[in-house]
Amino acid sequence: MADALELDALWEDFHRVVNMTSAELSAWLRVSDAGEATEPLPDQAGSPTGQHVLAILQKRRTDLTEDDLGVMRAVVDTVTEQTDVENEPAAEDTERRHRLMTLGHDPLKG
């Protein structure tokens, strides 16, 4: 397990880049996974990573597992890489925005 300072920094970074609430992310995962004829069960909607991000959002810091920490690091790295100042997605870049939203980051959200 990471030491307390590393955990604090990761927790802050994760909650900085994941700017959607758990309710918003849950709704997005259901919408993005719904097909014309079927819709997945709410607890099975979205990618495994999106589901893991949602689970992390619903946890306390003291309840995090090593798997949670790995997902948190990956999400922070991915979102940071894809949203640096030069590459901030434009409102018209719907596909990119939707990929980021699957990780809990809405680039159009302030």
Per-residue pLDDT of the chain (110 residues; tens, 9 = 90+): 568 899 999 999 999 999 999 999 999 998 865 555 555 555 555 688 999 999 999 999 999 999 999 999 999 999 999 887 555 555 558 888 889 999 999 998 86
Give the predicted TM-score (pTM) of the model. Answer: 0.82
CA distance 12 to 17: 9
- To which residue do tokens 């069960």 refer? 41
Residue whose C-alpha is closest to residue 17's, from 76, 70, 74: 76
User: Would you state the pLDDT for residue 82?
Assistant: 86
Contacts of 64 (CB under 8 A, 6+ apart): 7, 56, 72
pLDDT of residue 109: 85
Cα 23 off chain centre by: 12
